[in-house]
Amino acid sequence: MQIEGLVNFRDTGGMPLTSGGTTRENVLFRSEAPAALTARGIDELAASPIGVVVDFRTELERRGAPDVLPTTRPIRMVRLEVLEGALPGMAAIVRDGVIDLEHLSRILTAIPALSDLYLAMLHNAAPAFAEVGRLVASATPDQPSAVLVHCTAGKDRTGVSVALLLDAVGADREAIVADYASSAGNLAGEWAERIQAGIRQLGIELTPQVVELATGTPPEAIEKALAWVDAEHGGSAAYLRSGGLSDAELEALGRALVG
């Protein structure tokens, strides 16, 4: 499936499971923010099984680049704000002349490594990630109810969230890492160039670390995140429980994604 206007869109179905088989298609999708959908892309989204759109962006990011969604049928919007990972969104916003100076100051004084950003995200966003699991677990086959998860780039907040859900239901770790890493190639070119131009306008030097933070998806970043989850919680399922996902909801998540 393709949605015109999205460069980092994909179905997480078809991923190998450690127990054999693959994850189900048409249940969990991921992408960058659907802010530039064409008329054809809007029709393609309307014809898809997607019935829930989860947006991890901050309010400032959303104002700068609102989601463009079909109006021909209901799509439930769920906003789960996660601050960590918002740098690409800040860069996109600058073209509209809207800058959060306090946030900008934090960015300029401490550029984190991508793996460190993910650890901070994991410390703070367990309830948000658990809620995504709850939404996927409640999908019903008789109506469009698949979940599309996005942030700005669809690589960091989205990438960590999707990795946790897939890991919790037994997807192969190497496949999870490969799916995460593929975002950098999807974003390369015009999308990445636009974000990097916005970063320059924010007054941030485009060092290799900044470029990686804004547009990169090195495998070791998600590997370190999942290793932390293993060490601190005993796995992704237990981590999601720490965010409020119940055992019954975890079982429903497995049924939705695995069968």
The rounded Cα 109 to chain-centroid distance in angstroms is 25
pLDDT digits (tens, 9 = 90+) for 175-201: 999 999 999 999 999 999 988 888 788
Contact 61, 27 (CB under 8 A): no
- Is 80 exceeded by the pLDDT of residue 143? no
pLDDT tens digits for range 77-125: 999 999 876 655 554 544 444 555 555 555 555 677 899 899 989 999 9
Q: Bigger pLDDT: 247 or 213?
A: 247
Arithmetic mean of pLDDT over the chain: 90
Each residue's pLDDT tens digit, 10-32: 999 999 999 999 999 999 999 99
170 vs 94: which has the higher pLDDT: 170
Specify whether the CB–CB gap between 239 and 160 falls below 8 A: no
Q: Are 229 and 236 in contact (CB under 8 A)?
A: yes
Closest among 70, 80, 33, 245 to 144, alpha carbons compared: 70
Q: Domain 10-257 belongs to what architecture?
A: Alpha-Beta Complex (3.90)
